């Protein structure tokens, strides 16, 4: 399976629009109006090269099938990396999110080697998002418990989420890779 990550670019706006549907945004408050979508796209473009994270297009061969991101976030008084992902409905259930997640973890572990970089990667899927919660476990994250999580950041909107943590110093491969070894 040829799943790879490509840094976000202007052309990824078309993918962002495909993600901005009731089905895809069900667990995070629903679709955004065009002005917010364009602002989000701008933030993703601006993240590149800052050293604070990176937004990626998930590709299966040449086809854009989703997105995945990591970025710094203040969480419970300390800096951590946060991850989030989307896989378009026709591609769900085929292991693409797990492949993209494993690739992202490799990228984030490299970023964590820099002086002062966070040493934890967290994911905050809605407690009702069973596929994303299962993916966290499959990728080796440890469930810390449910929490109220503000999304989008600085919006005042809280979502009941699970806090999943991955220690970036632990270089063991994700569980799915361990099973193949």
DSSP string for residues in 54-111: EEEEEEETTEEEEEEEEEEEEETTEEEEEEEEEE-GGGTTSSHHHHHHHHHHHHHHHH
Q: pLDDT band at 121, cuts 50/70/90? A: very high
- DSSP run (H or E) holding 149: strand 142-150
**Structural contact between residues 55 and 47, judged by C-beta atoms closer than 8 angstroms:** yes
Q: pLDDT band at 155, cuts 50/70/90? A: confident
pLDDT at residue 166, as a whole number: 98
Q: What Å distances lie between residue 47 and 18, 44, 86, 99, 101, CA to CA? A: 21, 5, 18, 23, 19
Tell me what the pLDDT averaged over the chain comes to: 90
**For residue range 26-76, what is the model confidence (pLDDT) as tens digits?**
767 787 889 989 999 999 999 998 989 999 999 999 999 999 999 999 999
Does the domain formed by 3-180 have CATH 3.40.630.30? Answer: yes
pLDDT at residue 181, as a whole number: 38
Once rounded to an integer, what is the mean pLDDT over residues 112-119?
A: 95
| Of 181 and 93, more confident | 93
Task: At 80, list the tokens.
Answer: 């951590």
Once rounded to an integer, what is the mean pLDDT over residues 129-143?
A: 95
pLDDT at residue 170, as a whole number: 78
Q: Hey, is 133 helix, strand or coil? A: helix
Q: pLDDT band at 127, cuts 50/70/90? A: very high
Above 70 in pLDDT, residue 176? no
Task: At 141, list the tokens.
Answer: 């994250």
Domain ranges for the chain, please list them.
3-180
- CA gap 152, 162 in Å, rounded: 16
For residue 76, how many C-alpha atoms fall within 13 Å in the half-sphere facing its CB? 11
Q: What Å distances lie between residue 178 and 53, 94, 102, 149, CA to CA? A: 26, 19, 12, 31
**Structural contact between residues 3 and 60, judged by C-beta atoms closer than 8 angstroms:** yes
Task: At 41, list the tokens.
Answer: 């796209």
**For residue range 77-102, what is the model confidence (pLDDT) as tens digits?**
999 999 999 999 999 999 999 999 99
Above 50 in pLDDT, residue 4? yes
């Amino acid at each position: 399976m040829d799943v790879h990550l490509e840094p976000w670019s202007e052309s990824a706006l078309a993918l962002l629009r495909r993600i901005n549907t009731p089905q895809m945004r069900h667990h995070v408050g629903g679709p955004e109006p065009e002005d917010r979508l364009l602002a989000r796209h701008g933030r993703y473009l601006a993240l590149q090269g800052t050293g604070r994270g990176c937004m990626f297009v998930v590709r299966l061969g040449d086809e854009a099938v989703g997105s995945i991101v990591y970025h710094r976030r203040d969480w419970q008084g300390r800096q951590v990396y946060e991850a989030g992902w989307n896989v378009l409905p026709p591609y769900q259930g085929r292991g693409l999110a797990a492949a993209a997640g494993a690739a992202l973890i490799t990228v984030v572990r490299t970023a964590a080697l820099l002086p002062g970089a966070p040493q934890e990667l967290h994911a905050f899927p809605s407690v009702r998002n069973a596929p994303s919660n299962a993916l966290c476990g499959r990728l080796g994250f440890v469930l810390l418990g449910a929490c109220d999580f503000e999304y989008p950041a600085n919006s005042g909107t809280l979502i009941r989420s699970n806090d999943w943590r991955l220690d970036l110093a632990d270089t063991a491969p994700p569980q799915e890779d361990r099973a193949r070894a």
